[in-house]
Amino acid sequence: MKLRVLGCSGGIGGDLRTTSLLLDHDVLIDAGTGVGDLSLAELAQIDHVFLTHSHLDHVASIPFMLDSVGWMRREPLVVHATEETTGILREHLFNWKLWPDFTQIPDPVKPMLRYETMSVGRTVDLRGRRLTPLPANHAVPAVGYQLDSGEASLVFTGDTTTNAALWPVVNGIANLRYLVIETAFCNGEKELAIASKHLCPSMLAGELRQLARGAEIYVTHLKPGEGELIMQEIAECAGKWRPRMLETGQVFDF
């Protein structure tokens, strides 16, 4: 399995792109603004989108992708999400008011978009690539993911604050190689992190103390303009785990 980071910022501006990860050539983990850097040919190859949650910085590219290449597809784009997230997309995004309902276009029998409901702990197997939703704790219903090639696993927490339910699951992954975890705010904005259900460096350190396995750790979703400060504070309070900043264009082979 090969995972390419299309976007990993908490916002936009310059070369910043919001959360979107491309698994091999045909699967997206979230669909933030980074998806827009793909060519039409690359977009047309994407068959599945696995969403962590419904916030705009994680779903923004789905409507444009369908509008751009939906007509090029023989089968619907499958969006995998929890029942709660699917309900939000139906009511607030693909509702004919904010954007057309592509589950009805060109017709309900052969649509461009299809939803596949999933739940925490239930693995989806795509030709030997195993994707398992993991617990997350965010302002809206959310999940993270374990991506398991058989040889190794990458865990992506998605957007989350302190999350005691996650660590027993992560510690049970025998082939864990990578952990990608968010830290959206600096320590000076801890109250905002708590209110919005994100992490700051001191909270990240508390979470990593629950990690009982070795893994390469990468930090994602940093607030634009504060990346250097956040990583400095992480080095000061969580340095023994050696977290590194996730970067757009980074590729993980596992």
Q: Which residues of 174-213 are buried (b: 16+ CB within 10 A; e: fewer)?
A: eebbbbbbbbbbbbebbeebeeebbbbbbbbbebbeebee
pLDDT tens readout for residues 3-52: 999 999 999 999 999 999 999 999 999 999 999 999 999 999 999 999 99
**The whole model's pTM is what?**
0.97
Percent of the chain topping pLDDT 90: 100
**In this structure, what are the phi and psi dihedrals at residue 134, rounded to the nearest 5 degrees?**
-115, 160
76 — pLDDT class (breaks 50, 70, 90):
very high
pLDDT for the residue numbered 90: 98
63 — pLDDT class (breaks 50, 70, 90):
very high
**Residue 186, domain CATH:** 3.60.15.10
- Dihedral sign, Cα of residue 174, residue 175, residue 177, residue 181: negative
Q: Which two tokens stand for residue 107?
A: 């017709």
Please report, in angstroms and rounded to a whole number, the separation of the first and last CA atoms in the chain. Answer: 5
Residue span of the structural domain in which 91 resides:
2-253
Q: What is the mean predicted confidence (pLDDT) over 216-235?
A: 98
The count of structural domains within the chain is 1
